[in-house]
Amino acid sequence: MGSPLTGYLVVAALLFAIGLAGALVRRNAIMVLIGIELMLNAANLNFIAFWRYSPHPEALTGMMFAIFSIAVAAAEAAVGLGLVIAVYRHAQTTDLDKMNRMKG
Amino acid sequence: MFYLIAALTLAGALAAMTLKHLVHAALAVTVAFAGLALFFLNLDAQFAGFAQILVYIGAVAILVVFAILLTRGSELPREGVFSRTWFVGLAIAAGIFAVLGWAVIASAKALPSETAVPTANVHDIGVALVGRYVLPLEIVALLLTAATIGAVIVALHEKERAR
């Protein structure tokens, strides 16, 4: 455990696992989206941590990737929640287990 | 300091995924986002930290609360909040964490040790954004425009068609 990077990577892995568990386990579509957001944030934490302890931080690569990732995640959240609202208006539910109309 | 922020972030994330009430879960996930912003500030990435605060705490959390209220998510479902196959999901997540944790621990020796604090002021980031990263910047601008229009069109109230 010599490197301070290890702690950040373990925290990011744990956060990713929590987000994945939430996305797989929760019934509500909004909670699934929140789980996906947590997974994206765990990846961002990795980018920033690797940027901080990289040999060439002045290249700003990891930082830029994290900033673009935040922007894309914001767009994803807007479209995803818009879709949830549209589906709710159609099916009167946000419960994913009840959205089985296309089940064969 | 690190352990304090880590405990805050992970507690927020765990609470968000386990709390029954959706509004409580949204507040808990806001705590997790704030913890991540503190992580970014702790890692000397001030710009990313403040972007995280603005985008996640300022926009995404509000959007989530709006979606919960618009879909009447504040009412508790009778069947419980977890899926019937919750055990499978939990097992997959635990497996993924085991693999990631093993990879991190196994490569711990190869990771770089303490380095000098990098300087990333807003001026450098701005120059990089309009210099080397100008094409991704344009693509993100286009994507955000398309996402805004798309979200509005998708969530637009459809007029009842005359039958």
Q: What share of chain A has pLDDT > 70, as a percent?
A: 97
In this complex, the residue of B48, B77, B83 whose CB is nearest that of residue A25 is: B83
- Extract the tokens encoding B102: 């093993």
In this complex, the residue of B133, B140, B150 whose CB is nearest that of residue A72 is: B140
CB B102 within 8 A of CB A44: no
* B99-155 per-position pLDDT tens digit: 998 988 888 777 777 777 777 788 888 888 888 889 999 999 999 999 989 888 887
DSSP-derived secondary structure for A41-94: HHHHHHHHHHHHTSS-GGG-HHHHHHHHHHHHHHHHHHHHHHHHHHHHHHHS--
What gap in Å lies between CA A8 and CA A22, rounded to an integer?
Answer: 21
Cβ contact (<8 Å) for B82 and A57?
A: no
Length of chain A: 104
Whether residue B81 is predicted with pLDDT greater than 80 in this model: the reply is no
Q: What is the pTM of this model?
A: 0.87
Please tell me the predicted confidence (pLDDT) of residue A42: 93
CA torsion B96-B99-B105-B111 (nearest 10°) is -80
CA A63 centroid distance within chain: 17
Please tell me the predicted confidence (pLDDT) of residue B107: 83
Whether residue A9 is predicted with pLDDT greater than 60 in this model: the reply is yes
CB A71 within 8 A of CB B144: yes
What gap in Å lies between CA A18 and CA B25, rounded to an integer?
Answer: 13
* A51-99 per-position pLDDT tens digit: 888 887 778 888 889 999 999 999 999 889 888 888 888 887 777 777 7
* B6-48 per-position pLDDT tens digit: 898 899 998 988 888 888 889 999 999 999 999 999 888 888 8
